[in-house]
Amino acid sequence: MAGVSSSDLTYEQAVAKLVALARANGGTLTATQVEADDSLSVERDLVSAAARALAGGTNVFSSEEPDDRKWFPFSTLTFSELPRL
């Protein structure tokens, strides 16, 4: 598609990347992990929306602690069951 760079991230890709981070970390992803990922940090609003959607699921527990997070809306997202993507 003209005018779209390879660094553009779709909502579905953002969800998949967040789930992959959680899967790689035993079911929990942290703001530190997300904010350190260059491909996610470029699309902060999109990634935040994806995180909020995931946090609204019945199998996800979110936490907001006083910490050093810069832009990610949650300190952690913990999945009791990881979705199949």
Nearest-angstrom CA–CA distance, 26 and 3: 38
> Is beta strand 60-63 parallel, antiparallel or unpaired with respect to 28-30?
unpaired
Q: Which of 15, 33, 25, 26 is nearest to 84 (CA)?
A: 15
* H helix intervals, the chain: 11-24, 31-36, 38-41, 44-55
How is the chain split into domains, by residue range?
Answer: 11-79
User: Residue-wise pLDDT tens for the chain (85 aa)?
Assistant: 333 344 589 999 999 999 999 999 999 999 999 999 999 999 999 999 999 999 998 899 999 988 888 999 999 999 998 767 6
Q: Which CATH architecture has domain 11-79?
A: Orthogonal Bundle (1.10)
